[in-house]
Amino acid sequence: MSQTLRGLIPVAAALCLSACGSTTTFLSTWKAPDAQPVDPAGRSVAALVISSNKTQQRDAEVYLSNDLTIRGAHGVPAHQLIGYGHPDVNYAVAKFKEAGVAGVVVMRVVGHNQTVIVDPGGFSGAAYTSFASYYQSAGVALSYSSGSVQTETLVTVETAVYSLTQNKLLWAGTSQSRNPHGMQGLIIEVADAVSSQLSKQGLIAR
C-alpha cells in the first residue's frame, strides 16, 4: 500500500462474510484498541486494490466489490470513482465522499513465491535393500513410480480497513494463501479470512 493511501485516506469497510474451507492464514493482524463495531448492511464500500497492472486492478476490484455486495454492503470498484494508479489523496477522498462511500477495503499483494516439488519416481520396495533380497525376489512384481512435478504457490496479501466516520484505520492484517485458484479465488479467500477475523475481534456488528 502506498504511504499516502495508508496514512491519509480515512475510509472504512466491514465484510459480512464467513470463512469456508479457506487455505488462507494470517501472519499478523492489528485492530484499533477503541474501534467500534460496524454494520455494513446497505452501506457503500469501495474496493481498492493497489496494483501497477490496470487489468489486474480492475478485475480484482470487481471481484472484491461483488463479494461485498453479495454479503450485504453496496460494493463499489474504486477505479470507477478515482481511476487507476495513485491519484491525489484529496481528489480520492472527495470522490469517495461525493459517491456516498462509507468505507473502503484496501488490498495489496506483497509477496508471490513458487516452489517446484519434484518426485523423481523409480523402483521401491524391500527387495532393493540388499543383493540377496533383490536376487531372491526375482520374478516378483516390484513397485515403480513414474514420478511427478508439482508447483506450490504462496501469495501474501496486505489488507487494511479504514473508517470514514471515525477517520482512522480500524484493522490491518497480512495473510498468506496457498495455491489460490486464480485472482478471483484469491480475493474471495482473503475476503472470507478477513471477515472471519473482523467477526472474531468484534469489529463486525452481530
Neighbours of 148 (CB within 10 A): 10
Gap between the Cα atoms of 63 and 184, Å rounded:
6
Do residues 35 and 171 touch, judged by C-beta distance below 8 A? yes
- Note the CATH architecture for domain 3-117+156-200: 3-Layer(aba) Sandwich (3.40)
Identify the weakest region by mean pLDDT among 25-29, 105-109, 117-121, 189-193: 117-121
In terms of pLDDT, which residue wins out, 77 or 192?
77
Q: What is the mean pLDDT of residues 80-103?
A: 89
Report whether pLDDT(7) > 80: no
The pLDDT assigned to 21 comes to 41
Stated as kind and residue range, the H or E segment containing 113 is strand 101-119
pTM more than 0.75: no
Half-sphere exposure of 147 (CA within 13 A, CB side): 8
pLDDT in tens, 174-195: 999 998 888 888 998 998 888 8
Domain ranges in the chain are 3-117+156-200, 119-148
Gap between the Cα atoms of 64 and 48, Å rounded:
9
Q: Residue 166: which residues within 8 A CB-CB, separation 6 or more?
A: 10, 12, 35, 36
The pLDDT assigned to 14 comes to 36
Residue at grid coordinates 465522499: 97
Band the pLDDT of 172: cuts 50, 70, 90.
Answer: very high
Do residues 104 and 11 touch, judged by C-beta distance below 8 A? yes
